[in-house]
Amino acid sequence: MPAYHTNEWGLTDKQEAFVAEYLSNGGNATEAYEKCIALPGTTRETMSNGASAMLRRYEIRTRVAFLRGEIADKTKTTIESVIRELEEAREQAIATAQTSAAVAASVAKSKIMGFEKTNLVLQDAEGKSPFPSKIEIVSKAAKKRKPKE
C-alpha cells in the first residue's frame, strides 16, 4: 500500500490541485507548480523543472486531456444555446422590422461562430429581404493580418 493517497486517476491531492490550477490559469505550468506543490524558497528554475516533469507524467497528461474534453463539451453546449437564442432574436427582429436588432443578432452570431469575414443579407423565412441591408463582418484577427495601405 502506498504511503500517500491517490485518486482514481492515480494522482495525489497536490497533483490534482496542480492540474486544476494549470487549467484555470490558462496553461502556465510553472505558476501551477508554484501555487500547488513548491515549498517556500524554491527557485523559479526548480519550479519550472518540476512543472515540466509534472506535465511529462502520463497520469497528469491523461487527467488534463480528460478535463479539457469536459470543458469543451460544456462550452459547445453553451455556444450552441447562445446561437439558438440569437437566431430566435434575429427572426423576431426581422418579423417586427427592427433592423438594428436583427443586425446586432447577426453580428453576434457570426462572432461566436468565429467567422473572420462574413457577408450577411437579412432575410425572412421565405427568403425575402425586408431591409436593403448587406453587412460585412471582419474579425480583429483578420484585421491584424491585413497589410496597411
Asked if residues 25 and 32 have their Cβ atoms less than 8 Å apart, the reply is yes
**Segments making up each domain of the chain, as ranges:** 69-145
Residue 83: pLDDT band with limits 50, 70, 90: confident
Does the structure show a pLDDT above 70 at 62?
Answer: yes
Higher pLDDT, residue 80 or 89: 89
Give the residue-averaged pLDDT of 79-106. Answer: 87
* Average pLDDT taken over every residue of the chain: 80
122 burial (CB, 10 Å; 0-12 / 13-18 / 19+) is buried
What is the b/e burial string over 27-47, where b = at least 16 CB atoms within 10 angstroms of the residue's CB?
Answer: eebbebbbebbbeeeeeeeeb
Structure confidence at residue 70 (pLDDT): 78
Give the residue-averaged pLDDT of 14-18. Answer: 94
Q: pTM higher than 0.85 for the full model?
A: no
State what percent of residues in the chain have pLDDT above 70: 72
Of 88, 74, 27, 75, the residue nearest 54 (C-alpha): 27
Structure confidence at residue 102 (pLDDT): 85
